[in-house]
Amino acid sequence: MCGIVGYVGKDNAKDVIIDGLKKLEYRGYDSAGIAVVIDKKIQIKKHVGGIENLENLIGDDPLYSHTGIGHTRWATHGAPSDVNAHPHINGDSSVAVVHNGIIENYAELKEELINEHGVVFRSETDTEVIAHLVGLFMKDCDSLEDAVYMATQKMRGAYAIVAVAAKDPDKLVAVRKDAPLIAGLGKGSNFIASDIPALLKYVKEIYLIENGEMVVVTPDSIKIFDENRQEVKREVFHVTWDVDAAEKEGYEHFMLKEIFEQPKGISETLNRRLDENGRIKLDGISLTKDDLDNFSKIYIVACGTAYHAGLVGKAVIEKFAKIPVEVDVASEFRYRDPLVDEKTLFIAISQSGETLDTLAALREAKRKGARVLSVVNVVGSSVARESDDVFYTWAGPEIAVASTKAYTTQLTCMYIIALYMGLARGTITQEFYDQFIKDLQEIPGKLEEYLKKTGEIEALAKILYNKEQVFFIGRGLDSSISYEGSLKLKEISYINSFAIAAGELKHGTIALMEPGTLVLALATQDALYEKMISNIQEIKARGAHVLSVAKEGNQAIEMQSNEVIYIPYCRDEIAPLLSVVPLQLFSYYVAKERGCNIDKPKNLAKSVTVE
């Protein structure tokens, strides 16, 4: 998704906006631009590529202004180019607009503007339609907010919009519909942004903008209006993140920093949920035995990495709580008329809490009567606000596009939820519960020790980085981790990687095994270890190069592998918290060897808020 920053206040808007855009570049980096109001005229600078290109274009020009908007783009309509970069302006440059999302009826609006008003379009984007609409309505409206409101009445889609007007130079007007938006409350200066990191340097007090709301921002006030244009009183949300949490702190990349932050994230997510007796407390979530017994089915719905966490969640919830669980990809869920009713518990997993597909699936489940429990990392996000119950992870801000610490904290949440359900229903014993909690509490320490040995992974990456096709295989929970390992590799190294349950090899995929084919084989499940050895033998017989991941003590796998990565010994169910880490590191070091942009891989963005 794209990044938005808006500023109105006493400082130079250009400097504030550029700084904020740098903090949001993980949301989009095809192009970047800025529009500022100077002497009741709008000046725009924009350039294809990263923000450094925009800075080079601006050069020494101070662009001194107290009001402006900026944008860093992930292309949806129109290829990355200077002309398609945001902000977009209307014909006489009296209005400028930045926009996240998609205007679904932009083609018919564009045709209407051309045929009825003689509008000439400069770009291929849907966003330019908004600028022309607002500009037309400004001719007959008393204020910028009136014009923006009139424009949104003609638009369909999902969007976050921020507009400035030359004749209303001390005002920003923003509207949110199914795309994230926040307003920052300063002193003599106020802000608009699409995500919190953009504002951390300047403010800690923000307003979370709800769906359908309009925000009017001046240097002295932030006013929020609902869909009926009635003013809304909103409680201030205090951001607890430290500014340094969104910085690299000496690491070469955010991804590497966030891999190393996983012991802390797991520990925080777990221990904040335990009382002094080691009992799970759900912070206001009330799921009684009667509630749980009433559920006939649990749906876990998510996208990408969060979906892979859901696969592990399914396994442990079914094993511990004995309730049927179905895991679904959010983008498919609402289009197949799912069997959901008041006896359904719907668990949404989302790092950002703004993933549009997940949010749409959540709304569909609620419409059908399901109870909704969300697992999210961002407090006050859309998914969190629209859920009946919220289970927060404690990963802290995750900046790299490829998720790492958000994934392992999501896994931790899945274990906690499964244990809580099992104990409440009486389907696990107190003895099992106590031992499992103890085992979970040992994971951060084991992971810290393991992360001292990253050199062996880096050495393997230097040997194997030039493969153009890689397979990941595993059985049981290892197959779920294989999917995540494969996704990490393809996301940041652009290698064509493919994951499969190892038992499925003989049903087609083994035809692709040739001498030298790289296969990462996960064999961390003691109950399936011998079966996995057999699968490795099958691919070794076809000449594959096998890099295995196994628990310490299982040296027999060395006879069937070219190399083996050992993780600390642990029970089978918990192994995913450890086994995914060497896969993350392998992906990182391979991408580094290949010279890839690790934190900002091509065509990807951190928070996907369009379908």
Cβ within 8 Å of residue 471, ≥6 positions away = 497, 498, 499, 500, 509, 512, 513, 517, 518, 519, 520, 544
In a domain, 604, yes or no: no
Task: Give me the number of domains the chain comprises.
Answer: 3
Q: How confident is the model at residue 608 (pLDDT cuts 50, 70, 90)?
A: low
- Kindly report the backbone phi and psi dihedral angles of residue 579, in degrees, each rounded to the nearest multiple of 5, phi listed first: -70, -25
The verdict on 365 and 489 lying in the same domain is no
Catalytic residue among 2, 303, 413, 570: 2
Q: What does the alpha-carbon distance between residue 322 and residue 318 come to, in Å, rounded to a whole number?
A: 5
Q: How many CB atoms lie within 10 A of CB 147?
A: 24
For 430, the token pair is 């107190």
Mean pLDDT of 344-353: 92
> Active site includes 606?
yes
Tell whether the model's pLDDT for residue 272 goes beyond 90: no
The per-residue pLDDT for range 70-84, each reduced to its tens digit, is 998 766 767 778 888
> Active site includes 314?
no
For 376, the token pair is 């999210």
**Domain stop point among 211, 241, 271:** 241
Tell whether the model's pLDDT for residue 610 goes beyond 60: no
CA 138 and chain centroid, separation: 36
The verdict on 253 and 210 lying in the same domain is no
The verdict on 168 and 118 lying in the same domain is yes
In a domain, 160, yes or no: yes
The verdict on 283 and 311 lying in the same domain is yes
In a domain, 387, yes or no: yes
In the chain, the percentage of residues whose pLDDT exceeds 90 is 66
Residue 531's pLDDT is 92
The verdict on 73 and 221 lying in the same domain is yes
Tell whether the model's pLDDT for residue 342 goes beyond 90: yes
**Domain stop point among 222, 241, 260:** 241
DSSP string across 79-129: -S-TTTSSPEE-TTS-EEEEEEEEETTHHHHHHHHHHHH-----SS-SHHH
Q: Note the helical H segments in 166-301.
A: 254-260, 262-271, 289-294
In a domain, 611, yes or no: no
In a domain, 441, yes or no: no
Q: What does the alpha-carbon distance between residue 24 and residue 181 come to, in Å, rounded to a whole number?
A: 13
Residue 488's pLDDT is 97
Taking all residues of the chain, what is their mean pLDDT, rounded to a whole number?
91
Residue 51's pLDDT is 86
CATH number reported for the structural domain that contains residue 482 in this entry = 3.40.50.10490
For 240, the token pair is 């607890």
The per-residue pLDDT for range 123-181, each reduced to its tens digit, is 988 899 999 999 999 988 889 999 999 999 999 988 899 999 999 999 999 999 888 89
Mean pLDDT of 252-271: 94
Choose among 29, 15, 33, 20: nearest CA to 86: 33
pLDDT-wise least confident of 25-34, 142-151, 248-257: 25-34
CATH number reported for the structural domain that contains residue 170 in this entry = 3.60.20.10
Tell whether the model's pLDDT for residue 607 goes beyond 90: no
Exposure string for 254-268, b = 16+ CB within 10 A, e = fewer: bbbbbbbbbbbbbbb
The verdict on 111 and 80 lying in the same domain is yes
**Hunting for tokens 């049927």 — which residue is that?**
324
Q: Could you tell me if 407 and 382 are in contact, meaning their C-beta atoms sit under 8 angstroms apart?
A: no
Residue 248's pLDDT is 73
The verdict on 401 and 291 lying in the same domain is yes
The per-residue pLDDT for range 568-584, each reduced to its tens digit, is 999 999 999 999 999 99
Is residue 474 classed as helix, strand or coil in its secondary structure? Answer: strand
Q: How confident is the model at residue 325 (pLDDT cuts 50, 70, 90)?
A: very high
The verdict on 397 and 477 lying in the same domain is no
Q: Note the helical H segments in 517-559.
A: 529-540
The type of residue at 386 is E
Residue 286's pLDDT is 83
Q: What does the alpha-carbon distance between residue 84 and residue 91 come to, in Å, rounded to a whole number?
A: 15
Do the strands 344-350 and 297-302 form a parallel or antiparallel pair, or are they unpaired?
A: parallel
The verdict on 231 and 334 lying in the same domain is no
Catalytic residue among 405, 551, 600, 606: 606
**Domain stop point among 217, 241, 265:** 241
Is residue 267 classed as helix, strand or coil in its secondary structure? Answer: helix
Residue 1's pLDDT is 58
Q: Could you tell me if 79 and 124 are in contact, meaning their C-beta atoms sit under 8 angstroms apart?
A: yes
The verdict on 87 and 221 lying in the same domain is yes
Residue 236 DSSP label = P
In a domain, 442, yes or no: no
Domain assignment of residue 552, given as a range: 452-593
Q: Could you tell me if 370 and 328 are in contact, meaning their C-beta atoms sit under 8 angstroms apart?
A: no
Tell whether the model's pLDDT for residue 231 goes beyond 60: yes
The verdict on 412 and 457 lying in the same domain is no
Handedness of CA 422, 423, 424, 425 (dihedral sign): positive
Tell whether the model's pLDDT for residue 484 goes beyond 70: yes
In a domain, 608, yes or no: no
In a domain, 484, yes or no: yes
Containing H/E element for 72? strand 67-73
Mean pLDDT of 399-417: 94
Tell whether the model's pLDDT for residue 443 goes beyond 90: yes
The verdict on 265 and 136 lying in the same domain is no
pLDDT-wise least confident of 238-247, 255-264, 467-476: 238-247
Q: What does the alpha-carbon distance between residue 264 and residue 11 come to, in Å, rounded to a whole number?
A: 37
Q: What does the alpha-carbon distance between residue 149 and residue 380 come to, in Å, rounded to a whole number?
A: 25
